């Protein structure tokens, strides 16, 4: 029996295990704060990919066996600041059910008066409320909440032990980096929905077609498709997007953020032309 549900997950998981092995090596053998700070900076982009695939995993578990999924989630928690089933609750059975209602959305971008939050405001609020909102959603899903609680305690205890054993490197590798990754995840998700109409799933998300961005994030740029069928594996989102593209308006395509934008915006000319405002006569 195959261990992976989808063969496409083999390469990303291997890469993330390799990154984690480097994390462990840096934790054990590097002591100088400047070197640790440099490693933190260098790790931001690789950890962004880990964050994206942790998201995918908590929509559709990577392995066929629970014990392997729990171990993968423990590794992801130490890399991304998002523990087992935190995104299942906050995102999969929270945000995905409520994103068309900004009064309920766990990742809401609208203030109470209906106005749109700024990017930094949204990112800070989403970061600071991620775990409380996940716990709140868990009241409706006690089985998920139990896993969230137990694995959260295990993750926190492990981080505590790592920092106790080597305080400086433990802080940089297993506290600062995951905390920043959680904030970076919130920052990145602002562009997915902020300011979009919530009239239907086909207009409520922005989409990024730039190939490098989608390689790095596991096709998160096909965000309308992801919300249309959130149980579809990340490797199938491009094909799903092609099926529903006629229903997606031209103004729902945006360039990627930095640094992927350096490789172009990825928006086909025909979409850019359709989205451009008509000049006044």
Q: 6: exposed, middle or buried (C-beta count within 10 Å: 0-12, 13-18, 19+)?
A: middle
| pLDDT of 191 above 70 | yes
Distances (CA, A) of 98 to 88, 152, 186, 198, 222: 14, 24, 17, 10, 19
When pLDDT is cut at 50, 70 and 90, the band that residue 275 belongs to is: low
- 258 band by pLDDT with thresholds 50, 70 and 90: confident
Domain boundaries, given as residue ranges, for the chain: 7-195, 200-275
Span 140-180, pLDDT tens digits: 999 999 999 999 999 999 999 999 999 999 999 999 999 99
Helix (H, G, I), strand (E, B), or coil: what is residue 110? strand
Supply the pLDDT for residue 110: 94
User: What is residue 209's DSSP assignment?
Assistant: -
pLDDT of residue 269: 75
Percent of the chain with pLDDT over 70: 96
Share of the chain above pLDDT 90, in %: 89
- Model's pTM, two decimal places? 0.92
Query: What average pLDDT does the segment 117-143 reach?
Result: 96
User: How much is the mean pLDDT over the chain?
Assistant: 93
Please tell me the predicted confidence (pLDDT) of residue 249.
Answer: 93
- Nearest residue to 220 via CA among 260, 181, 274: 260
Instruction: Express each pLDDT in 50-74 by its tens digit.
Output: 999 999 999 999 999 999 999 999 9
Of 28, 43, 35, 57, the closest CA to residue 179 belongs to 43
């Amino acid at each position: 029996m195959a261990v992976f549900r989808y063969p496409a997950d083999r390469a990303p998981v291997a890469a993330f295990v390799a990154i984690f092995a480097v994390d462990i090596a840096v934790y054990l053998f590097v002591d100088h704060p400047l070197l640790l700070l440099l490693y933190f900076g260098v790790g931001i982009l690789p950890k962004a990919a880990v964050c994206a695939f942790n998201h995918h995993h908590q929509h559709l578990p990577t392995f066929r066996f629970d014990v392997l999924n729990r171990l993968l989630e423990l590794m992801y928690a130490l890399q991304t600041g998002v523990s087992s089933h935190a995104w299942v609750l906050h995102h999969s059975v929270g945000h995905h059910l409520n994103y068309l209602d900004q009064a309920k959305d766990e990742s809401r971008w609208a203030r109470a008066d209906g106005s749109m939050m700024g990017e930094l405001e949204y990112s800070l609020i989403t970061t600071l409320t991620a775990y409380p909102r996940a716990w709140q959603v868990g009241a409706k899903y006690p089985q998920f909440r139990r896993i969230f609680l137990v694995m959260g305690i295990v993750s926190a205890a492990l981080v505590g032990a790592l920092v106790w054993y080597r305080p400086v490197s433990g802080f940089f590798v297993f506290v600062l980096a995951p905390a920043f990754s959680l904030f970076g995840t919130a920052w990145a998700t602002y562009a997915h929905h902020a300011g979009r109409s919530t009239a239907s799933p086909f207009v409520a998300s922005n989409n990024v077609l730039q190939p490098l961005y989608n390689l790095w994030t596991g096709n998160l740029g096909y965000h309308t498709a992801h919300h249309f069928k959130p149980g579809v594996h990340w490797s199938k989102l491009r094909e799903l997007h092609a099926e529903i593209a006629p229903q997606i308006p031209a103004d729902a395509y945006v360039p990627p953020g930095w640094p992927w934008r350096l490789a172009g915006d990825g928006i086909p000319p025909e979409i850019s032309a359709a989205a451009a405002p008509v000049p006044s006569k």
